[in-house]
Structure 1
């Protein structure tokens, strides 16, 4: 089950149930997206909220960076002290949410194939537990197990570990409709003001509200609950 991929709850408490949906934009290439998505899943696992209120939205982070004018790998542009602190911060957050983590030997990682496979599995919009499991399993394959998720055999294997026909999803990832779906999700992210991952977009009354960063999910939940 999904709970076995993540640890105990590292989620906000004592908030009223959300009233508005939350789009969770992510790319497997980001360690912060890994941690942010772990927070979301732990909250879903340990609450009685309708999972349909959380809409998992794969996006191509590199394409987002290009559209908003950001360097392809911002981590490479950090000065030495900030780079050291960022590495430590990732480890601290991983420990907080009980997510296994080790920085991979291959970084950055080309993630277009696993993102398309995720789309092909139907993991966009409203998802079931099996679909969500695929998201977290793919994240863990890269950020905890150092597997090459740009490799079609690895992607197929991870999909099979979640109960899907891995070869079918890898083949489907080359279909025009799947490619278009990922492009559209990426364009939707940019239109919502997304500039990095993870990003949480709350669709309440008025304009959508954007929250960026692995530790901003509680603020997004407050907005979705009508508290801010």
Structure 2
């Protein structure tokens, strides 16, 4: 059988996208899949679909903070939560960061995985404002990009080509039915299958005929 193409639409403002990203990056070496990372803009999807941030519903926001802490431990992803996270999400724009990742995807795609991870690390572990150019520079350096290349990429983020690419990717996610992130689309048996959220990777495996080995498949499951 051929390999299953799996698209992951994500935005680095989303902690659940980080969880889904890390799990799929682990499974791309175990399952018979080709993982395609698709940087998109969550703000555009929320506006277009009428979805609302969790912080606008206080009880949901309280649950989300507790849930992120549990999920971070379970998935072994270093999300550092605090009570101001929901307001940070509402008050932070990742448009520049997502355009930067898009520019990298268009020109240096091998850096997309480490770069995206470093943006999440910067925002969700180190609690930095990734909308600032100096933080984008720091993230790029940590991901292995040269200063010269980073400057060229920063110049690209204001070009129509990059803006259009990010918009088109975001619109593509919505065509598949996405209303939030992460949005995972498996192209299987001639049709797209949408899965929403980081906790649907097990279901994804079931649909495409792959065995779920837990969120950290390299670590043996404890015996009962």
Provide the TM-score with structure 1 as the length reference. Answer: 0.80
Aligned to 1:7: none
Once residues 172 and 185 of structure 2 are traced to their aligned partners in structure 1, the CA distance between those partners, rounded to angstroms, is 11
Aligned to 2:161: 177
CA drift of 1:123 comes to 6.3
Aligned to 2:19: 35
Indicate conservation of the 8 Å contact 1:196/1:212, yes or no.
yes
Aligned to 2:40: 59
Once residues 97 and 133 of structure 2 are traced to their aligned partners in structure 1, the CA distance between those partners, rounded to angstroms, is 8
Q: Which moved more, 1:159-168 or 1:58-67?
A: 159-168
Aligned to 2:215: none
Count matched residues.
203
Q: Which moved more, 1:31-40 or 1:21-30?
A: 31-40
Stretches of structure 2 that go unaligned for 5 or more consecutive residues are 212-224
2:75 matched to 1:93?
no
Stretches of structure 1 that go unaligned for 5 or more consecutive residues are 1-16
Once residues 127 and 138 of structure 2 are traced to their aligned partners in structure 1, the CA distance between those partners, rounded to angstroms, is 14
Of 98, 115, 121, the match for 2:104: 121
CA drift of 1:117 comes to 0.8
Of 126, 131, 136, the match for 1:150: 131
Once residues 177 and 152 of structure 1 are traced to their aligned partners in structure 2, the CA distance between those partners, rounded to angstroms, is 20
CA drift of 1:31 comes to 1.3
Let me know the Cα RMSD of the aligned residues.
2.4
Cα distance 1:28–1:106, how it changes in 2: closer, same or farther (>3 A)? same
Provide the TM-score with structure 2 as the length reference. Answer: 0.82
Aligned to 2:61: 83
Aligned to 1:112: 95
Which structure: greater helix fraction? 2
Structure 1 runs (4+) greater than 4 angstroms displaced: 48-51
Indicate conservation of the 8 Å contact 1:55/1:127, yes or no.
no
